[in-house]
Amino acid sequence: MPLVSHNSLPTFDRLRAEGQLVLETGRALHQHIRELHIGLLNMMPDAALEPTERQFFRLVGESNPIAQFYMHPFTLPELPRGDGARQHIGRYYDTFEELQRDGLDALIITGATPTHPDLSDEPFWEPLRNVVAWADENVTSTLCSCLATHAVLESVFAQKRQPLGFKRWGVFPHRVVDGSHPLVHDVNTLFDVPHSRFNEVSKAQFEAAGMHILAESEEAGVHLAVSRDRVRWVYFQGHPEYDTVSLLKEYKREVMLFAAGNRADYPRFPDNFFSPQIRAIFDEYRALLERAIDNGLELPTFPDQLIAGKLNNTWHDTAEGIVANWIGTVYQLTHEERCKPFMDGIDPRDPLGLGLI
C-alpha cells in the first residue's frame, strides 16, 4: 500500500513524480488500513544520502497492499557530514532517541563508506552497535544492507569480513537455494543483484554465525541470508535497492577521479552491466579524455546522458518481491502480537464470547 508523507521530506515529491502512490497524512487517516512504522538508518555519505532514501522508500512503497507505510529516516550523529546534509537531516530526519520512545515495527540499516581497514575503528561502530542491540530487543525484524551486514556479523558473531584484493563491482546472477522460505516465495529462482564492495563475508562465515542462506552467486558469493530464527534479522550483501543508473554514476565518479589526477589507473567497467555498444562509446570517450589530458586540452563531456537510456535493470522486480515478502512477514507477526492481548482468556472456539459452543 502507499507510503504516507508524514513530513515534507523531498523524497516523497520525487516518488510522486515517478508515479508512485504517496498519501498525505490527512487522507491516510481516513483509510481503514493498518500502519507499519519502518525505520531507515541511513549511514551513506552525503552525496548518496537522498538517493538512498529514495531507493529504499521506493522498494517499501511498492511492496505490499496491506498497510500504510510510515518511513522514519535517521542517522548517526557521529558520522561526518557537510552543511547541506546536516541541514537535510536536521529538518527531515528523526533522532534515534525519538524512535526508541515511539517504537518501530521494522528497521532497515543501509551500508556506509568505510574510511578505515577495520570496521571497529569507524566512527559509526559503537553507535551502530547500540542501534543493533536495541533493535534486537524491540523491533520485529531488521534488514541489513551490505556494510551493515558486515558490521553485524563482526560485532555480534565475531565473523570479520575479509578483503577481496579487488573491487567486486557489477551485476551478478544469483540462485535461490531454499525456495521454501517465505522471503523468497514466488520470486525468480534465478535473478541478478548489483554488488559494489572490496570485502566480503564468506558462505562459511555466514554458516558459522548460524545464518540460513537463501540466495547466492557462484561469482559474487552469498547475497541473502537470515538469522537462525528465520525472520528477526535479514542480511543483504549486495545492493538490490540500486537504481538503474547507480552503477553508471559510480563509474562516472571513478573516471572523474582519474581525470582529476586523484586515481592512478583508469577504472575498469562494472561486470555484466554495460552492453558492447555502451563499452564502445566509453572506449571512445577514454581515448578522447586521455588525449586531452596528455595535451592540456579541455576535457570532453562524460557521455552519461547518451548512455542512461540504454541501460537495463535486471534486478528490481526480484528485489521488490523479496522486500514485499519481508514486509508481509512483519505485518503478520506484528498483527499477531497486537491481537494477543485481546485474545488472552478467550476460547478459540468462541472468539466473540457468544456462548454458542
What are the pLDDT digits (tens) for 61-113? 887 666 788 999 999 999 999 999 999 999 999 999 999 999 999 999 999 99
Q: 51-55, 76-80, 228-232: which range is least confident on average?
A: 228-232
CB of 74 within 8 A of CB of 41? Answer: yes
- At 309-327, the pLDDT tens digits run 999 999 999 999 999 999 9
Looking at per-residue confidence, does 178 or 23 come out higher? 178
CB burial of 116-128 (b: ≥16 within 10 Å; e: otherwise) equals eeebeebebbebb
The model's pTM is 0.86
Q: Which residue has the higher pLDDT, 27 or 131?
A: 131
Burial of residue 339 (CB within 10 Å: 0-12, 13-18, 19+) is exposed
Average pLDDT score over residue span 337-353: 40
Q: In what order do the strands lie in the sheet with 68-74?
A: 22-24, 3-5, 68-74, 35-41, 106-109, 141-145, 233-236, 221-226, 212-217, 162-176, 190-200
Q: Is the pLDDT of residue 244 over 80?
A: yes
Choice among 214-218, 229-233, 250-254 with the minimum mean pLDDT: 229-233
Q: Is 298 a catalytic residue?
A: no
pLDDT at 178: 93
Q: 6, 174, 239, 316: which one is catalytic?
A: 239
- Is 239 an annotated catalytic residue? yes
Domain boundaries, the chain: 3-243+313-342, 246-308
Q: CATH number of 3-243+313-342: 3.40.50.720, 3.40.50.150, 3.90.550.10, 3.40.50.880?
A: 3.40.50.880
pLDDT on residue 26: 53
Q: Are 146 and 238 in contact (CB under 8 A)?
A: yes
Please identify which of the residues 62, 241, 254, 320 carries the catalytic annotation.
241
Catalytic entry in 37, 62, 144, 146: 146
- The pLDDT > 70 percentage for the chain reads 90
Higher-pLDDT residue of 283 and 69 is 283
